[in-house]
Structure 1
Amino acid sequence: MTNDVEKPLYLEQYEALLRRLPERHPKYARASADYQKYAAGFQGEENLTYTLAMLNLHKEAFIRRGLRLKSVSNDYYFQIDLLIVTPCFLYIGEVKNYSGELLFEPHYGQVTQIKGETTATFPCPLQQGRRQARQLTTWLEQHGIKQLPVHSHVLLANPRTRISAEKQITDLYHAALLPEILDSLCLNHTKRVLTKKQIVGLEKLFAKENVEGTYSLLEKYDLRPQEILQSITCPSCSSRLLKRRRGGWDCTACGSKKQLLHVEALRDLALLYTDFHPLGMYRILLGHISVNTARKLLDPYVTVKGNRRSREYKVVLEKFQ
């Protein structure tokens, strides 16, 4: 059983974009606001770690977080924030980290967030959770696992959030109540439907079929590569006056010395723009360094295509592990 949740790749992509995109750029504010929204959601999932450690689950149960599965019948992906598999039932938690006061109106398919003098309306996560339960049930049936009870609830990770609704919503509550809710479900589901072998197989299947989502942020924000592929900057003073000397980088503006600035810049490039480029583009990115130095710095992190005259390079994210 694991309670850990890793930072999603799309958050790393946003962080790379905000490092590379100048703050004065007209798209920066929108990208930054989107990043803050997604980061808040991830923070909510992180806040669950302590609560999940308090669960009294069957010894064969396991937990998967941030699960993204592809439908067998089409190219559609669906994502589950929290999945708990027990011998008797499956539990889906749709995790939200909203703050302020939330007015749930499931009959309208909406939730209104009230924070001070401002309000905002979002799609109701209750319907989203139920849709995930149906999708997971179908996915399991397509993999030969049928008649497995699936429960879907919405968990509010922020303990200071106030819930408002016309009447009680039984599948909506603060995440701190999760241990008691699962205890109740265990009492109501005593018939075993998964064997130990099936549980082990299902855990391996989820690990195999999980596909982490990636996004083209340049396409989303209609950015040209040259708008973000700028030369490396000094982390101490933000100057671009960097020189490659004796295996490191010297800032001629503030005098600081760094070793791996090119690695950070190349990894940002791998996160943002997975395409082939001529060597000249990388030379510009790395401060107009020489051809031989560029090839030496790129070699551990790229794949190459073309002959010597038309050779192009693509930075591969996996090579930074």
Structure 2
Amino acid sequence: MEIIQFHEKTIVLQQLQALLPRYAQRDKTYEQLLSIYKRENAGDMGESSLTYYLRLADINDAFVIYGIRLREPNGYFQIDVLVLTPKVCFVIEVKNITGNITINESGQMIRSDKGSSDTFPHPMIQANIQARHLEFFLKQLNHRALPIHPMVVFTHPNVILDGKFTNDDILVSQQLLDRIHQVYHSYHQIIEKPSRLKVLAQQLKSKHEPRKADIIDKYEINRNMVRNGVWCPSCKKTIMNRYYGYWYCPTCEHKDRVAHIKALREYVLLFGDTIKAKQAAEFLGIDSVHIARRLLLKTGAKILGNKKSATYHLDTI
């Protein structure tokens, strides 16, 4: 089994990981952003945890694509995990939630946990919708139709599925290996040659369009609420001080010459990949624009404009 597109954190999750440690908790938007972060992080953990079980499946000439997002006439559709095999294609909807899961008579999913209940859309309906989107997309590519088998996998170790579940394709991650083998071997005909299947996998990957996001703009984040400075990479608790040629952490006494690189990467995630020396000095928490300019030059950033008004492009750091 070959992974064509590995699991990656969504841009929303990356931005929130950069923003929340710097964001003033007193701001009214903080709790909302924290809730979004928890949801995004749960999804990220759920998808990444499936890699172990998919590798165990060890189906010859199978190809895995994580988080593929494809454009269609009316918008986009996204599949958490797509597994292409010569016989059948698996569309896997991943749910990383805890608690007791039941389906009521109206087809709603009910999660009961710690005395409270939440209602969600039926996960199998979601998986079926993604499968139909994929079927249409493959037809648009003029590709021989593979059977598409949707599944829902609950990945959290503390989830409990109600014993009344009758759908074999709603399962916990530990059951995934057996179910994939069962479905795969129920198909007796090779629909697609491995060579053409890999071409299809690469073609789908080439059409992947990652979701774009701008947390700062969308939630109208006040720049003054975002803390400046370089976090200590050792204790991860303290903003470091800049001394002669290095960064120093007053809490754990860690010294580092390149700690500013991670801070600049966080700046790119939050504010874009162009910066001026004055902005860099402010964000890194140093008084000297000259030192900020020197640090930017050491990153290999492309420069546009003259020295004082130069703009530095950080898209390669």
Scaled by the length of structure 2, the TM-score of the pair is 0.86
1:183 is matched with 181
**Mapped contact 1:99–1:115 kept (Cα < 8 A):** yes
SS in 1 for 2:81: strand
Q: Which residue does the alignment assign to 2:51?
A: 49
8 Å CA contact 1:47–1:157 kept in 2: the answer is: yes
Aligned partner letter, 2:101: L
In the alignment, which residue of structure 2 is the partner of 1:156? 154
Match of 2:7 in 1: 5
1:4-30 Cα deviation digits (max 9, x unpaired): 634444322221112221334333333
Distance in 1 (alpha carbons) for counterparts of 2:250 and 2:149: 60
C-alpha contact (below 8 Å) 1:242/1:250 kept by paired residues: yes
**How many residue pairs end up in the alignment?**
313
Q: In the TM superposition, what whole-angstrom CA distance separates every residue of 1:117-138 from its partner, at most 9, and x where no partner exists?
A: 1111122221211111011111
- Match for 2:159: what amino acid? T
The CA deviation at 1:279 is 2.5
**What does 1:1-321 align with in structure 2 at a 5 Å threshold?**
1-2=1-2, 5-57=7-59, 59-71=60-72, 73=73, 76-105=75-104, 108-164=106-162, 168-228=166-226, 230-234=228-232, 236=235, 242-245=241-244, 247-251=245-249, 256-274=254-272, 276-299=274-297, 300=299, 302-307=301-306, 310-316=309-315, 319-320=316-317
Change (3 A) 1:288 1:85: same
Show structure 2 runs of 5+ residues with no match: none
Distance in structure 1 (CA, Å) of the matches to 2:94 and 2:22: 30
Closer, same or farther: CA 240–183 of 1 in aligned 2, 3 Å: closer
CA–CA separation in structure 1 for the residues paired with 2:263 and 2:56 = 41
Aligned-pair CA distance for 1:56: 4.5
Query: Counterpart of 1:258 in structure 2: which amino acid?
Result: D
Give the direction of change, closer, same or farther, for the CA distance of 1:103–1:303 in structure 2 (3 Å limit).
farther
Percent identity over the alignment is: 28
CA distance in 2, matches of 1:153, 1:251: 49
8 Å CA contact 1:84–1:91 kept in 2: the answer is yes
1:242-265 per-residue CA deviation (whole Å, 9 max, x = no partner) reads: 2331x2123568754332221121
SS at 2:162's partner residue? Answer: strand
User: Shift of residue 226 of structure 1?
Assistant: 3.8
- Asked if 2 retains the 8 angstrom alpha-carbon contact of 1:43 and 1:97, the reply is yes
Q: Do the aligned residues in 2 keep the contact of 1:94 with 1:155 (CA within 8 Å)?
A: yes
- In angstroms, what is the RMSD of aligned CA positions? 2.7
Q: Tell me if structure 2 keeps the 8 A contact 1:243–1:251.
A: no
**TM-score, normalization by structure 1:** 0.85
For the 8 Å contact 2:89–2:149, the answer to whether it is kept is: yes
**Distance in 2 of aligned mates of 1:166 and 1:252:** 57
Which shows bigger deviation, 227-236 or 18-27? 227-236
Deviation per CA, 1:238-288, whole angstroms, max 9, x where unpaired? 56572331x212356875433222112111111112154433221111223
Q: Is the 8 A contact 2:240 2:247 kept in 1?
A: no
Moved more, 163-172 or 194-203: 163-172
Report the Cα offset of residue 295 of structure 1.
Answer: 1.6
State the Cα distance separating 1:214 from its structure 2 match: 3.4
Change (3 A) 1:228 1:173: same
User: Is the Cα–Cα contact under 8 Å of residues 242 and 248 in structure 2 kept in the other structure?
Assistant: yes
Superposed displacement of residue 229, structure 1: 5.6
